[in-house]
Structure 1
Amino acid sequence: MASQILPMVAAVILVSQSLWAQQALAQAEEPLVPALIIIGDSTVDVGNNNGLVTVIKSNFGPYGRDFSAGPTGRFCNGKIIPDYVAEFIGIPYPMAYLDPAAKGSAILTGINTASSASGFYEGTAKNFNVIPLSQQMVWIKDWQRQVTDQVGPARAATIFEEGIFVVSTGSNDYVNNYYLNILLQEKYNQDQYRTLLLDCTIGLLKEMYATGAKRIAVVGMPPLGCLPSQIKLRLGTNKCVDSLNQNAIDFNAALKVEVDKMMPSMPDAKIVLLDSYSYIYDAFHNPAKYGLKKTSEACCGTGTVEVAILCNEASPGTCQNADEYLFWDSFHPSSKFNAGIARYFFDTAVKAFGLVRKQK
């Protein structure tokens, strides 16, 4: 009996030592980068819209039903992409700029200025009385001022230069503005509107660089025609809307050209374009590969049109297990899918920026 127990004890000790070693190593590592700064729309908003006079909110159930803090203003059942990326980096979740607690040491590792329903085009945010990117940049500069006041100019400059600035927006410029706005369609054809959005995007990137940002990640336009809301409103089938997807493809290709043209004027900076289109499109058509069962309909309500106030506790038919779904509501991914695409984005950025985690 003793001869059997000793190997078991030894195995337990080895496992315990291994876990202790892993924990000690994690504690000995510095965060991969000092800060994560988020600009954008509902794909990355963590609650800035909560206090605004707008219908574009999600600070109520069933939003947040699988999140430890409950409904916070995240358009998801659980964590969204910035949450996972912050975990991978090794820092706290960047707080919403309008959160009363977003001050002092709590903001030294980043800030989140995203506002749901905003876009690259200023008029997109105005349609819903939310915060446009121009005002988000004002908030970013105010955050930088607060950080500088706390740690001094030299340390602050390091935080800004070594931190990662993430831009995630653009979908609303199409699905919640251009496609619905007859006056905008009369003023701009699709090529002209794309050029307008590109001008806004490049202007934003130049302004970010001027504030000291050296590492910028821009999330590309997703397959707009694969959103459950667009499928339902335009086709009523389980297939993506090809024409909408083509607009996203064209925008992403044009953005790459413009960024490549701009980079010689920013020799000490790196801009990474994150390909959300390919990842989401592949998941939509190959759900089993991603551990999913449903892709053309969402979890909340009927899974076709529900979003914001239409996705509520009284919505009939809301699924029990959101992990089986690509989309939580008719516009936004489920928390499980967010985890996968966040890892994909993170790995892409780490390689592109040449990041290596340092020991303390």
Structure 2
Amino acid sequence: MESSHTLLAAVLLWLHLFLILIVTARAKVPAIIVFGDSSVDAGNNNQVPTIARSNFRPYGRDFYGGKPTGRFCNGRLATDFISEAFGLRPFVPAYLDPAYNISDFAVGVTFASAGSGYDNATSDVLGVIPLWKELEYYKDYQKRLRAYLGDGKAIDTLTNALYIISIGTNDFLENYYVVPQRRIQYTIDAYQEFLIGIARNFIVDLHSLGARKISLAGLPPMGCMPLERAENLANACMETYNTVAMSFNAKLSDLVVKLNKEVPGLQLVFSNPFSVLLQMITNPSLYGKSYI
């Protein structure tokens, strides 16, 4: 899991930066605000009763001080690098981490929870923070930010901040293909449409709360995750899962186009890590590696 998340973080970093620089060219970005799953959780799960934690070694061995923080990687996440690239802090702290307060969160915060998904049922699998609760934490954050900065500066921060959403893999790998309930209710295509509806509502709600610049991440080639490869013959990627990821990414891309047309003032971009990450896995020699 560690190597897959580290690699995914690198891919997401460059894709996010490329798209973000287009959308926010010459624009001030006073804060990075993050929602999602383990790809962007900086330690929120340390504060909830779940086994989905990474607050132990070897996680964090390359982070400041060499200590595990709750990030599902050996060092920093893509969102940490993005924050630094915009001249902010070199890492984005978790909202529930008691080591930080509103003065830290004023320039960056993540509400993400490892194991979460668009579907509330996904977060129930491992007892983590559902996406709707992440939004509730964001509302609480807004109140605290206004009290700390004053209404005017807080509104400016919330309006000009860069919002990053990275979520969705667990809906399939930890829920649909593992727990029978959703498979009984939906075909795989219908389930994707169900998730797209949730994604749409979440983005619209986020916009109504003041968000304008939003980067929405697609799914990686989830059939190539270490566990999925280990369960497949010859350690090969599970193509069925990869096909689903491509299909879902196409639906997310269509959603982005529609919302940019329908929602006034919204600057929504879609960052798709699928092809780049798949190339890294299938052709590691191109990146100076013998195996990924």
- Whether the TM-score (by the shorter chain) exceeds 0.5 is yes
Q: For residue 260 of structure 1, report the CA deviation from its aligned partner.
A: 1.6
Aligned residue number for residue 202 of structure 1: 200
Amino acid at match of 1:55: I
2:77 paired with 1:87: no
Counterpart residue identity of residue 105, structure 1: S
Counterparts of 2:33 and 2:121 in 1: how far apart (Å)? 23
Q: Which secondary structure does the structure 2 equivalent of 1:165 belong to?
A: strand
Residue in 1 that maps onto 2:69: 72
**In the alignment, does 2:56 pair up with 1:60?**
yes
Give the TM-score normalised by structure 1: 0.71
Three-state SS of the structure 1 residue aligned to 2:103 is: helix
Which sections of structure 1, spanning at least 5 residues, go unmatched? 1-29, 296-360
Asked if residue 51 in structure 1 is aligned to residue 43 in structure 2, the reply is no
CA distance in 2 between counterparts of 1:185 and 1:138 reads 29
Pairing 1:144-293 to 2, within 5 Å after superposition: 144-233=142-231, 235-293=232-290
Residue in structure 1 matched with residue 136 of structure 2 by the alignment: 138
Offset from partner CA, 1:83-131 (integer Å, 9 cap, x none) = 1111111111221111113323211102110100000111100111100
121-130 or 150-159: bigger deviation: 150-159
Deviation at 1:259, TM superposition (A): 2.3
Q: 1:271 to 1:31 in 2, by over 3 A?
A: closer
**Given residue 80 of structure 2, which amino acid in structure 1 is its aligned partner?**
D
Give, in whole Å, the separation in 2 of the partners of 1:32 and 1:222: 30
Query: In structure 1, the residue corresponding to 2:109 is in which secondary structure?
Result: strand
> Which residue in 2 is equivalent to 1:334?
none
Counterpart-to-counterpart distance in 2, 1:172 and 1:44: 13
CA distance in 1, matches of 2:82, 2:254: 27
Give the CA deviation at 1:31.
9.6
Q: Which residue does the alignment assign to 1:299? A: none
Q: Contact (CA 8 Å) 2:256, 2:269: kept in 1 or not?
A: no
Q: Does the aligned pair in 2 maintain the 1:31–1:89 contact within 8 Å?
A: no
- With the length of structure 2 as denominator, give the TM-score of the two structures: 0.87
Over 3 Å counting, the alpha-carbon distance change for 1:65 and 1:31 in structure 2 is farther
Give the C-alpha shift of residue 36 in structure 1. Answer: 0.2
C-alpha distance in structure 2 between counterparts of 1:110 and 1:144, whole Å? 12
1:65-92 deviation line (CA, Å, top 9, x unaligned): 2222411111111111111111111111
- Superposed CA deviations along residues 119-161 of structure 1, whole A, max 9, x for unmatched, are 0111100111100010000111111111111222221121111
Deviation for aligned residue 1:225: 0.9
Larger radius of gyration: 1
Q: Secondary structure at the match of 1:50?
A: helix
- The residue identity in structure 2 corresponding to 1:80 is L
> In structure 2, how many angstroms separate the alpha carbons of the residues matched to 1:65 and 1:94?
17
* Alignment root-mean-square deviation, CA: 1.5
Distance 2:105 2:281 in 1: 36
2: CA distance, partners of 1:204 / 1:60? 32
The AA in structure 2 aligned to 1:65 is: R
Q: Deviations over 1:281-319 (max 9, x none)?
A: 111122122233321xxxxxxxxxxxxxxxxxxxxxxxx
Match of 2:291 in 1: 294
* Structure 2: gaps of 5 or more residues: 1-25
Q: SS where residue 214 of structure 2 aligns?
A: strand
Partners of 1:197 and 1:264 in 2: CA distance? 20
Question: How many correspondences in the alignment?
Answer: 265
Structure 1 consecutive aligned stretches of length 4 or more whose deviation exceeds 3 Å: none
